[in-house]
Amino acid sequence: MALFDFLKKKNNNTDEAEILSEGSEEIDELDRLEDEEELEDLEKLEEYEEFEENENLSEKYIENEAAEEEVIEEEADGETTEEFSEEDEPEAAPKTGFFAKIKAGLTKTRDNIMSGVDNVLKSFVKVDEELFEELEETLIMADIGVETSVYIIEQLRDRVKSERITDVSEVKTALADVISEILDKDEQPLELPSPSVILVIGVNGVGKTTTIGKLAHNYISEGKSVLLAAADTFRAAAIDQLQIWGDRNGCEVIKHQENSDPAAVVFDAVQAARARKTDLLICDTAGRLHNKKNLMNELKKIAGIIEREYSQAHTEVFLVLDATTGQNAIQQAKLFKETADISGIVLTKLDGTAKGGIVIAIKNEMNIPVRFVGVGEGIDDLQPFDSKDFARALFEE
Ligand SMILES: Nc1nc2c(ncn2[C@@H]2O[C@H](COP(=O)(O)OP(=O)(O)OP(=O)(O)O)[C@@H](O)[C@H]2O)c(=O)[nH]1
Ligand SMILES: [Mg+2]
């Protein structure tokens, strides 16, 4: 034993008793030391084990927290992963027809406009100025806005005069014709040659990312190849949300880290789209930055990158507006128009709002074509805007 060797060396010239007694003292001392060391080691081991356990726990805690955060963020966006997987199923269900869907989506708007108009018409026996005034008021109340309501009634007066309408029951048809004319004005179908880019802009929460997911679905169904660019780098959740739509559509998403330069994301996406000869690149953007000026400057920079790096592509700038915000949507359109070359409007959330009359105001006041309308949160709830269908859905009983 090592301890004995040590004793022998140390006590070479001492007698056995001494050796033994000294030795026993040494042994006791060493034993004590060893015990202490062991004890220390044991304590260390215990501490380590405890530490390891805590490490695991904290890792688990971090994992849980991250997972929880994800859920919270997704929920804040109104899109939980659960919702997505649930939503996946109804896709297999038979699809409602285009017109039926728009009609169903416009139920509240139709009720809002038409019940008001019907009530006014019911209370008059002859067509006079008072009738026009009351109709004008009703249209304003139905979110068509003052400017457009005044214009509609002016047109109605002219029509009533030129068509010599004297029967109140005929006024409704004349009104429907006036509104249809506004919706129809300058209608040109949207052409998206290959390659094309759609830059999607709008304030936060209006439905930009969801619209992009639906647009991708629509164009992929038509056989186009689609690439998405996550140029809303303001929040990590925004990038994740677009990735989820990319996964659902089976199309790639070009993305960078949170808070990275959105123009750099678009730059990379353009290079990728060019290299892959992608038919359609759709770019998501932030709806909110530290201030309005920043947002507008960023949009300008992104548009500049597309123009410079992808001059051969046809470019569309879609402004997304939330129908539930009513007249506020017009203010947003006016604001964005100052900076961006808006080529089309997407009006979302028409389902469940009575404020769909805003489409008429947008058409009349903005001189920008309405390209799509959102009638639900599902992947196939984005309809190309068709003025005839829209007018029919609004006036048909
Ligand atoms: N009912 C209904 N909900 C919609 C429609 N379009 C979008 N939404 C919902 O509106 C919410 C916001 O949509 P997002 O796509 O995240 O909006 P966003 O403009 O990208 O928002 P930010 O990224 O925060 O700027 C989500 O809960 C969508 O499901 C629609 O047409 N109908
Ligand atoms: Mg978004």
Domain boundaries, the chain: 2-48, 99-184, 196-386
238 CB near ligand 1 (under 6 Å): yes
Looking at the domain that runs over 196-386, which CATH code has it been given? 3.40.50.300
Residue 57 has pLDDT above 70, yes or no: no
d(CA 386, CA 369): 11
Band of pLDDT at residue 340, cut at 50, 70 and 90: very high
Band of pLDDT at residue 198, cut at 50, 70 and 90: very high
Looking at the domain that runs over 99-184, which CATH code has it been given? 1.20.120.140
Q: Is 223 exposed, middle or buried (0-12, 13-18, 19+ CB in 10 A)?
A: exposed
383 CB near ligand 1 (under 6 Å): no
210 Cα nearest atom in ligand 1: 15
Sequence letter at residue 146: V
Q: Which of 49-58, 192-201, 327-336, 378-387 has the highest mean pLDDT?
A: 192-201
Give the pLDDT confidence of 366-394 residue by residue, as tens digits.
989 999 999 999 999 999 999 988 888 88
Helix (H, G, I), strand (E, B) or coil at 137: helix
Helix (H, G, I), strand (E, B) or coil at 69: helix
User: Residue with structure tokens 């203010």?
Assistant: 331
How far does residue 58's CA lie from ligand 1's centre (Å)?
35
Residue 276 has pLDDT above 70, yes or no: yes
Backbone angles phi, psi at 334, to 5 degrees: -65, -40
Q: Among 330, 334, 311, 343, which Cα is nearest to 190's?
A: 343
208 CB near ligand 1 (under 6 Å): yes
288 Cα nearest atom in ligand 1: 25
Tokens of 149: 């309501």
352 CB near ligand 1 (under 6 Å): yes
User: Residue with structure tokens 């949507």?
Assistant: 329
Give the per-residue pLDDT at 48.
Answer: 37
105 CB near ligand 1 (under 6 Å): no
d(CA 231, CA 285): 5
Average pLDDT over residues 68-78: 40
d(CA 73, CA 278): 31
322 CB near ligand 1 (under 6 Å): no
Q: For ligand 1, atom 21, name the residue with the nearest CA.
A: 205
374 CB near ligand 1 (under 6 Å): yes
Residue 316 has pLDDT above 90, yes or no: yes
376 CB near ligand 1 (under 6 Å): yes
d(CA 221, CA 224): 7
Q: Which of 82, 203, 210, 233 to mutate to test the pocket of ligand 1 (most atoms within 8 A of CB)?
A: 210
Give the per-residue pLDDT at 293.
Answer: 84
77 CB near ligand 1 (under 6 Å): yes
Give the per-residue pLDDT at 219.
Answer: 98
Residue 286 has pLDDT above 80, yes or no: yes
The one-character DSSP state at 222 is T
Q: Among 288, 300, 396, 350, which Cα is nearest to 106's?
A: 350
Residue 355 has pLDDT above 50, yes or no: yes
Residue 13 has pLDDT above 90, yes or no: no
Strand order, beta sheet including 253-254: 253-254, 226-231, 280-285, 196-201, 314-322, 344-348, 370-374, 382-384
Helix (H, G, I), strand (E, B) or coil at 255: coil
Band of pLDDT at residue 33, cut at 50, 70 and 90: very low
Q: For ligand 1, atom 30, name the residue with the nearest CA.
A: 349
d(CA 333, CA 361): 11
Give the per-residue pLDDT at 34.
Answer: 45
How far does residue 98's CA lie from ligand 2's centre (Å)?
26
202 Cα nearest atom in ligand 1: 19
78 CB near ligand 1 (under 6 Å): yes
Percent of the chain with pLDDT over 90: 65
355 CB near ligand 1 (under 6 Å): no
Band of pLDDT at residue 200, cut at 50, 70 and 90: very high
d(CA 295, CA 65): 31
d(CA 376, CA 387): 19
How far does residue 210's CA lie from ligand 1's centre (Å)?
5
